[in-house]
Amino acid sequence: MFSGASAELLRKSLRRSWLFITWIPVVYTFNEHVCYIGKIEGSSMRPTFNPAVNSSDYVLLWKWNIRDPENLNYNDVVLLKSPMNPQKVFAKRIKGVQGDVIMTRYPYPREKCTVPTSHLWVEGDNIHSIDSNTFGPISTGLVVGKATRIIYPFSRWGEIPEGGRECRLSRLSEYA
């Protein structure tokens, strides 16, 4: 049916296809549970991300064991599912971890908030951000990944700069 050369070519093609197919679950698992490249859009984290209007930054997202509260620290930038609409993903900076007392901003209904166990207080670096001041502390279960570096545009390659305000009552009293 096939000549010797055609049969050999078919075997090589099938071998390559099989090799490609067997790596799909490995790549999928790696992207879902270890590491991923995420795109940051919008102005809520400006000037840390997207300093120019109509620009987008790409970041390396660390996902391994990310929902453990021990791996989420003050000033880490995280991507999280919106508590109001789980189809949306926000980029925010952690400003309080479980047990911290936070000095809130408008529109939060109280002046202070104690962050519950396994929750975070997150804020955007831009004061006009929709964040915990709008929806309150968020569960660590909503965290998708922790941004570790800006990888694109190449001119901004590197560590994620510090930003945002200090809002932990324990730290604010040190400054007073």
Task: Give the active site residues.
Answer: 44, 92
Helix/strand/coil (H, E, C) string of the chain? CCCHHHHHHHHHHHHHHHHHHHHHHHHHHHHHHCEEEEEECCCCCCCCCCCCCCCCEEEEEECCCCCCHHHCCCCCEEEEECCCCCCCEEEEEEEEECCCEEECCCCCCCCEEECCCCEEEEECCCCCCCCHHHHCCEEHHHEEEEEEEEEECHHHCEECCCCCCCCEHHHHHHHC
Point out which residues pair with 80 in neighbouring strands.
90, 143
